[in-house]
Amino acid sequence: MCVSDPEWAVLQVFDALASLPFLNDLYLHCWSAPDPSLQLRRLPHLENLTLTCASWLGDYHNHSTIIPIAKLIGWSQPKLTSLSIIADHRHINDQNAPNLNDFLSETSKSSMFLNITHLSLKGLFVKLDATLLPHLRSLISLTTEGIFSPRDQVSGNQGAGISPGSVWSVLRSEKIHLQEIFTDDVQPALIEYLTSFSGVRRLRLIRASSYRMLPLVSDQLAIKFYERALRNHVHSLDSLEIDAYYEGSWCFASHCSGIIKKCTPLTFLELPINSEDIAEEKDDKEDSSPSGDNAIVGVPTSVQLYASKLPV
């Protein structure tokens, strides 16, 4: 969809889509903001919707520009189970990013709720409040990347920020137990959430250590993850991926190999490795003495281990 598209052309495309009885998966790319008065056709069988918003989000300022998309989402309840919204623009920041609530604003006009099981969000303001939670009770998979925290506009709380961590805090308090988590929002609230239940099958932590966090703080968080959070999921986890910007306690070494070996269903493991451990491993192989201790303890042979070297 582009601002230069005439309305009749857009409607004809959606008429055609609506006539397809087996269409349940749609990828919609918006190059520019749609006209708020545009009445998109209903897609009665839509179950999976991926929405990528490009250039217009850099100048986002008017909630009404999302109305046509919000109506499309609203009309799809309760069949829509997978929703992905990607704000793909380099100029997005906490001042002009769209709010997830705007995309779901039309759902509140019906007595039915969405039955979202898979949710993927990038570059949005996200605050799980009372208007959003009813649509997420069945959520089992969540992907978040580069999300922002909207300001609380309630009188008396001006400037009180709702951190991205509140997403994990709300999920924890509402006992919404995910099975798949892919996120770059690695902070104490996430560790506490993972510690509160069991059953995660796939977990990917993107940029677990970053230059926005002090190395000491990052290492402490990693230790809590391996010692507290991960042990709750050793009987369910089949895929674990951790990305890091620099070497530290998030890396695979003796301090975490014990708990990883207890993850008996694990079939895919991707972790960084500290360079000093690689050197020690090499020395151990060259030293046939029984007293030599490997810095890196082996993982089950069924596990695919991918390692990468990072800056010190």
* Rg for the chain, CA atoms, rounded: 23
Q: Are 134 and 272 in a shared domain? A: no
Place of tokens 């099958």: 201
Say if residue 168 is in the same domain as residue 210. Answer: no
Flag whether 180 is in a domain. Answer: no
User: Which of 174, 117, 170 has the alpha carbon at shortest distance from 143?
Assistant: 117
The residue type of 57 is L
Residues 250 and 119 in one domain: no
Helix (H, G, I), strand (E, B) or coil at 133: helix
Residue 196 and residue 291 in one domain: yes
Q: Are strands 82-87 and 118-122 parallel, antiparallel or unpaired?
A: parallel
264-300 burial, b at 16+ Cβ within 10 Å, e below that, comes to: eebeebbbbbbeebeebeeeeeeeeeeeeeebbeebe
24: left (phi over 0), alpha (psi -120 to 50) or beta: alpha
| Structural domains counted in the chain | 2
Distances (CA, A) of 17 to 35, 36, 41, 50, 272: 20, 21, 9, 15, 45
Query: Where does a domain end: 174, 206, 228?
Result: 174
Note whether residue 182 is domain-resident.
Answer: no
**pLDDT computed for residue 300 by the predictor:** 42
Residues 297 and 204 in one domain: yes
> 146 and 280 share a domain?
no
Q: Decide: residue 66, CB within 10 A, 0-12 exposed, 13-18 middle, 19+ buried.
A: buried
Contact 193, 170 (CB under 8 A): no
Question: Peptide bond before 78: cis, by omega within 30 degrees of 0?
Answer: yes
The alpha-helical segments, DSSP class H, found in the chain are 7-18, 67-75, 100-103, 165-173, 188-195, 215-224, 254-261, 275-286
Residues 217 and 112 in one domain: no
Using an 8 Å Cβ cutoff, are 119 and 80 in contact?
no
Beta-strand relationship, 239-244 and 202-209: parallel
Contact 79, 116 (CB under 8 A): no
168 and 211 within one domain: no
* Neighbouring residues of 5: CB distance < 8 A, sequence distance ≥ 6: none
Q: In angstroms, rounded to a whole number, what is the distance separating the alpha carbons of residues 210 and 203?
A: 18
**What pLDDT is stored for residue 31 in this prediction?**
80
Give which of 7, 40, 9 is closest to 26, Cα–Cα: 40
Claim to verify: residue 12 and residue 131 sit in the same structural domain:
yes
Are 164 and 284 members of one domain? Answer: no
- Tell me, yes or no, whether 20 and 165 share the same domain: yes
pLDDT, position 242: 94
Residue 193 · residue 173 · CB < 8 Å: no
As given in the structure block, the two tokens for residue 147 are: 């999300």
Which residue intervals of 142-187 are DSSP H helices? 165-173
The residue range of the domain holding 250 is: 192-312
- Residue 280 belongs to a domain: yes
Pair 166, 232 in one domain: no
Give domain status of residue 184, yes or no. Answer: no
- How far apart CA 63 and CA 10 sit, in angstroms, is 21
CB distance 44 to 80 below 8 Å: no
Residue 199 lies in a domain: yes
Residue 55 lies in a domain: yes
Tokens of 227: 């010692």
pLDDT in tens, the chain (312 residues): 877 888 898 889 999 999 998 999 999 988 877 777 788 888 888 999 999 987 555 454 456 678 888 888 988 878 899 999 998 765 555 566 788 888 988 886 666 788 999 999 998 888 888 888 999 999 999 999 988 865 433 333 333 334 445 799 999 999 999 999 999 999 899 999 999 999 999 999 998 987 778 889 999 999 999 999 999 999 999 999 999 888 889 998 888 989 999 999 999 999 988 877 666 555 555 554 444 333 333 444 445 555 555 555
**Would you say residue 276 lies in a domain?**
yes
